[in-house]
Structure 1
């Protein structure tokens, strides 16, 4: 990566937020929030789901109007407040979904950014625009073909495209870049690639607001940490003065054991048997799952881990093989039959696949099982539906506890609680989980872990597909490690450590599973 210049030393304040409040009916989402961001500074904003982080971003972006008396001020390098029109050009956003169009190239996506800045739609001048795109990409230490569709780039490369587009056409370096949970789908080196790009933006004089639930990333990147709790700033201090546990206490108001789940497992009858299933990414997998057992599925991106749960449920096409739930064969590619047989499925992308964001909490919670709530002539019993919804709102500790609010208005952690509760209320025989804590903070993660453990204690078999090694080690009775669509290894709880799991994922412990079974068939009780 190109050398990064020293940070500007003038310390000028580029963003000043003073007394910012935002009130919704029955809820004060932000309450007298104040902080500043200086030139060359990376300020992290952290907080529990529901703390106000998402509302803060939407207010800064102009999606929500703040309460009267709130001050949001963008300044130039000398500290002078900019006029309103110039201030709009001085604040740039990169949201979690990056706002890119996958089928378009880097060049074309950057062109859309220029159109948004009022230059109009123009034909691509191939050589000139390709060279400019390469220059912007190289500025962040990357070197990929800007004519490649964005869908074929890695997550880190797509993030660099989003940053390059946000910075394209800056007339001065002293702008403010806001990144909202940019690393949710990242793995390993991809995070550091993005961080190199962010550090370069700051080194050139911009201010950066970095919003994340990943505390280790915050400690590795930020100069300063602003912690929100219940819509208020509870801390604003140098990142160097904090460690992981101190940040958790700031966010939650207490110590939180984010991966400490007390449970004992005595697998009983077999509830799930998968034999020789295959799909586009899965080559040949067989496994069994017992009632009350939590079996993890691990593997690097492309191993098949990210497709297995959907394949078993019927959301992904099954080319061959069989799936049995308590001895009953499931029809392939039929999620309705899977639900009726006793399967529940929490997909990795809750917004796209796991819920209906424009529906309220009540509608989402009851959607998967309406039959018990219907009256004799088929009409929905509203009183019974409301009573059951209130019960689950209390069980998952939804915040705010408002079952009539549209799901998209809740934080990510609270959305995920609703998606999980939707299936838990069906009392499934088997719960298929794909990245169940992706994009949630430590408080929500601890709550979700307890819900999973409680489901297993009640007799549900759980198949947990996750890229989080701590999660797998904490929760699972055994972990199946996938490689190129096959089971490479099975690690029992007695041998399960993060180091052991990482070695297996990287192929450093390749070979037969510890009980001598083949790599394509790992049996229950191994």
Structure 2
């Protein structure tokens, strides 16, 4: 069972081994938000400590504090081993912590040798070039130590996911003067095939066997059980629970991750309140709505053989951990990424895959997760962003913009989304994140889309803007738009959606709907082993998941 530490602030001492990292009373505040709240933990030599929790639980903030990207609030202390058995403040021995992030930090067009040499002095040969043969031999030996026979001259882009991770580990460990270091692995397996995970874990076990400590952050409980010695649960920025990995009780662990305040008997009240506000009755995805979107055997680099359909007025969700394919599905449908196989039909018309212009003309709209880079033109005004996707209706016969018509359209949509401040000529970059997202959503709603694709629609917005965005989405559904929401936020999916497709390893493996669609069920499906089996049990008769 899980030991509850919600009421305790003292660090839990590892069962054995010399302490290499001690975190004491660590907190981090961003204005009025406390992202990390009085967290204490320890990591010992020869130990893998797993840290688990939902998005927003504080895992990323903890990693950034350890890496020195953020500074902790007063009173928090981070201590690391100096190699002689003493713990000293992190600032004195910061190089004892080594980080491997989700993207691994490798340059794909450089070789393994070149990636390992980055930031490392290549001897004292002055102006003479480095001895490439010796460098290649050294790189091969470093990677071979972790069980990989890698062509160190080939670009890293040609390596498998596991091989790239091994290169990142080899680079992180290169130059250790003694083994009393801590390696932090932040979701390293998100892009892995299941058969590659074992190779990475073998490499990590070799690190641990040397006497190092490892912090392993993962969404997958099967990975945690396979690798970790202890597990710490973070929730709402607090260290709320801890257990030896060998004593894991999945049901109790999921409850600790989700929290005891989650309502599992009924959906959240958001859907009811919003649908009352837009004066619609009955479920948005009722059988009366015709099929708007039919996806048949869709495949690409990160998605494999996905089949489902979506009706007019229905809000469907897509759930899955990072790397499940959830974050790539909408891009394939919209045409940002080109599918390698499959068919997409909108109504009676087949969408030409890989053609964004054609998708827009056929009534498809897409709000991407990265609004700064892909969703908006921030230096342009709110007015210009609003009218950008479709200039018909605000353009004169010879192509010039009719400023009077443009102003009328802008006034209408600024009122619809409650833009604050209501200043259409201000650069979009000067608005808050929530107001920027309202404009990004409004520019597509203005086109009256048949299909609205949303990726992380409320990422980085405040509570007020989130409620407004939910209402806009449900209003569009009430008017007949089919909506597909890909989100990592389980609460968001249960608030917005009629049903949720579950993705794992690039495939749709099940579906939750009706009373089975709860926050706990979604998180458990994403975290627990055998997601496909659980999901299948929850798929209602006549469901459309494949």
TM-score range, shorter chain: 0.5 to 0.7
Q: CA distance change for structure 1 residues 35 and 404 in 2, over 3 Å: closer, same or farther?
A: farther
Distance apart, 1:219 and its partner CA: 2.3
Structure 1 pair 344–246 and aligned structure 2 pair: CA distance change class (3 A): farther
1:250 counterpart = 2:250: no
Instruction: Kindly indicate whether the alpha-carbon contact (under 8 Å) linking 1:294 and 1:476 is maintained by their aligned counterparts in 2.
Output: no
| Residue aligning to 1:12 | 18
Quick one: which of 414, 434, 438 aligns to 1:403?
Answer: 434
Does residue 1:271 correspond to 2:292, yes or no? yes
C-alpha contact (below 8 Å) 1:272/1:325 kept by paired residues: yes
SS of structure 2 residue aligned to 1:31: strand
Distance 2:545 2:86 in 1: 68
| 2:336 alignment partner, one of 307, 311, 315 | 315
Mapped partners of 1:278, 1:149: distance in 2? 26
Instruction: Give the match's secondary structure for 1:472.
Output: strand
Show the counterpart of 2:181. Answer: 175
2:176 is aligned with 1:136: no
Aligned to 1:508: none
Correspondent of 1:385 among 417, 434, 459: 417
Equivalent of residue 408 in structure 2, options 376, 380, 393:
376
- State the SS of the aligned residue for 2:292: strand
- Distance in 2 (CA, whole Å) between partners of 1:84 and 1:306 is 36
Say whether the 8 Å CA contact 1:357–1:406 is kept in structure 2.
Answer: no
The separation in 1 between residues aligned to 2:86 and 2:303, in whole angstroms, is: 58
**Correspondence for 1:67 among 57, 65, 73:** 73
Greater shift in the superposed pair: 213-222 or 104-113: 213-222
Residue 450 (structure 1) aligned with residue 494 (structure 2) = yes
Question: Partner residue of 2:171?
Answer: 165
- The answer as to 2:107 corresponding to 1:107 is no
Q: 1:279: how far off?
A: 9.1
CA contact (8 A) 1:45 1:211 kept: yes
Q: 2:199 is matched with which residue: 171, 185, 193?
A: 193
Which of 472, 478, 485 pairs up with 2:509? 472
Summarize deviations over 1:402-461 as a string: whole Å, max 9, x none. Answer: 837999xxxxxx98352696994654744567xx45xx4xxx33x35435742x6xxxxx
What is the distance in 2 between the residues matched to 1:94 and 1:149? Answer: 19
- How does the TM-score come out when normalised to structure 2? 0.64
- What does residue 498 of structure 1 align with? 532
Counterparts of 1:103 and 1:170, CA distance in 2: 26
CA contact (8 A) 1:44 1:210 kept: yes
Cα distance between partner residues in 1 of 2:455 and 2:355: 25
CA deviation after TM superposition for structure 1 residue 195, in Å? 1.4
Does the 8 Å contact 2:330/2:455 carry over to 1? no
Does the 8 Å contact 2:230/2:244 carry over to 1?
yes
Shift of 1:90: 0.5
Q: Is the 8 A contact 1:50 1:230 kept in 2?
A: yes
RMSD: 5.5
Moved more, 86-95 or 230-239: 230-239
Give yes or no for contact 2:110–2:155 (8 Å, CA) kept in 1. yes
**Contact in 1 for aligned 2:184/2:214 (Cα 8 Å):** yes
TM-score of the superposition, structure 1-length normalised?
0.66
- Mapping of residues 327-346 of structure 1, within 5 Å: 327=348, 333-339=354-360, 341-345=362-366
Superposition deviation, residue 314 in structure 1: 2.4
Aligned residues: 442
The 2-side partners of 1:473 and 1:59 are apart by 37
Assess, with a 3 A threshold, how the Cα gap between structure 1 residues 233 and 331 changes in structure 2: closer, same or farther: closer
Q: Deviations over 1:219-266 (max 9, x none)?
A: 2211112222222211233222322111111122128799x9999974
Note the C-alpha offset of 1:17. 0.8
Instruction: Please list the CA deviations of residues 352-402 of structure 1 after superposition, one character each: whole Å capped at 9, or x if unmatched.
Output: 98757999xx99x99998999x8516468656434699xxxxxxxxxxx98
SS of 1:466's equivalent in the other structure is: strand
TM-aligned CA distance change 1:272 to 1:206, over 3 Å: same
Q: Sort the Cα spacing of 1:183 and 1:285 in 2 relative to 1 into closer, same or farther, 3 A.
A: closer
Offset of residue 316 of structure 1: 3.6
Instruction: Select the residue among 222, 227, 232 that pairs with 1:216.
Output: 222
SS of 1:16's equivalent in the other structure is strand
Alpha-carbon contact 2:502-2:510 (below 8 Å) kept: no
Is the Cα contact below 8 Å between 1:15 and 1:74 reproduced in 2? yes
Q: Within 1, Cα distance between the matches of 2:509 and 2:333?
A: 20
| Deviation of 1:163 (Å) | 0.7
Partners in 2 of 1:25 and 1:204 — Cα distance?
Answer: 42
Say which is worse superposed, 155-164 or 378-387, in terms of deviation.
378-387
CA distance in 1, matches of 2:458, 2:123: 39
Change beyond 3 A, Cα 1:380–1:90? farther
Q: What SS does the aligned partner of 2:456 have? A: helix
Instruction: Output the CA distance in 2 between the equivalents of 1:121 and 1:384.
Output: 65
CA drift at 1:95: 1.0
